[in-house]
């Protein structure tokens, strides 16, 4: 089984640089693991949206991304699929600790992301956690060292970084900032900057927003190295 999986991973990686975005019609046309493809199919996701095609392809190529696309265009899968594939290709296990971090401005949005991750990622072996406050901090604390993928709000994340000895992000592979524009509107700029300072710089960063404001670009400058700008004009 291990040999088959190694071969499958090698085969996927070989395809990353050969993808022609215009030729992608369905998720199956993308070089994704069988686990992710089945997770998408079982949840009736067949045709990727424009932001999903572009962001997934560039993210598989390990580029940093600055993605802008309007609400409802499918940004959640545009970062969850790359997270699953990144960790899958590295054969990430619970022992490897925190591999991916998704920061979202509100509890509701964080919960929706977590819910989508559970649905499309059910065949993968990663552990996922939701850290959004409003729950017992002690309870969150104990489980922190066992999580591979963490979905969180900025304030609560920074609290764990500052106070929880079990919080260890030194192995982080992927950082996602969802609704980066709203994070700034809601006054999280200082918190976000403090969080980013605590993260290892050798990582992939995927930043998404519904709009391109100047302050999003400022935040992007802090966290991205030569990002690929993805802003498709989607047909309504
Ligand atoms: P955004 O974050 O850009 O506002 P979401 O990721 O929340 O958008 O997606 C909006 C809605 O579209 C959700 O209900 C989601 O399930 C659905 N959706 C996303 N991608 C697809 C797709 N490829 N095919 C069908 N429905 C999709
Ligand atoms: Mg969204």
- Ligand number, closest to the Cα atom of 178: 2
CA 168 to centroid of ligand 2, rounded, Å: 26
Q: Which residues contact 46 (CB under 8 A, 6 or more apart)?
A: 26, 27, 40
Q: How far is CA 71 from CA 76, 96, 152, 188, in A?
A: 10, 34, 20, 20
Please determine, for the modelled complex, whether the ipTM score is greater than 0.90.
yes
User: In terms of Cα–Cα distance, which of 229, 182, 233, 232 is closest to 66?
Assistant: 229
pLDDT (tens digit per residue) in 109-149: 999 999 999 999 999 999 999 998 876 666 676 677 789 99
Ligand 1 atom closest to the Cα of residue 78 is 6
pLDDT (tens digit per residue) in 163-206: 888 899 999 999 999 998 888 778 888 899 899 999 999 999 99
Helix segments in the chain, DSSP class H: 2-15, 34-42, 50-60, 75-89, 107-120, 137-143, 154-163, 180-185, 189-198, 214-223
Domains of the chain: 2-230 (3.40.50.300)
pLDDT of residue 139: 64
Ramachandran bin of 135, using left for φ above 0, alpha for ψ from -120 to 50, beta for the remaining angles = beta
165 lines ligand 1 (CB under 6 A): no
């Amino acid at each position: 089984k291990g040999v088959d999986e190694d071969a499958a991973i090698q085969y996927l990686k070989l395809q990353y640089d050969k993808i022609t975005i215009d030729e992608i019609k369905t998720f199956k046309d993308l070089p994704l693991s069988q686990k992710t493809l089945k997770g998408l199919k079982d949840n009736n996701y067949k045709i990727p949206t424009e932001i999903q095609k572009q962001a997934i392809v560039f993210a598989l190529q390990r580029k940093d991304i600055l993605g802008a696309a309007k609400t409802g265009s499918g940004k959640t899968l545009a970062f969850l699929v790359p997270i699953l594939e990144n960790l899958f290709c590295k054969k990430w296990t619970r022992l490897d600790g925190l591999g991916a971090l998704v920061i979202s401005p509100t509890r509701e949005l964080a919960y929706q992301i977590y819910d989508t991750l559970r649905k499309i990622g059910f065949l993968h072996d990663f552990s996922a956690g939701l850290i959004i406050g409003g729950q017992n901090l002690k309870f969150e604390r104990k489980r922190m060292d066992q999580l591979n993928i963490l979905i969180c709000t900025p304030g609560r994340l920074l609290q764990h970084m500052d106070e929880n000895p079990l919080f260890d992000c030194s192995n982080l592979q992927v950082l996602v900032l969802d609704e980066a524009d709203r994070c700034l509107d809601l006054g999280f700029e200082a918190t976000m900057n403090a969080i980013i300072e605590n993260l290892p710089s050798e990582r992939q960063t995927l930043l998404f927003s519904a709009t391109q404001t100047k302050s999003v670009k400022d935040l992007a400058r802090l966290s991205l190295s030569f990002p690929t700008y993805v802003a498709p004009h989607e047909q309504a």
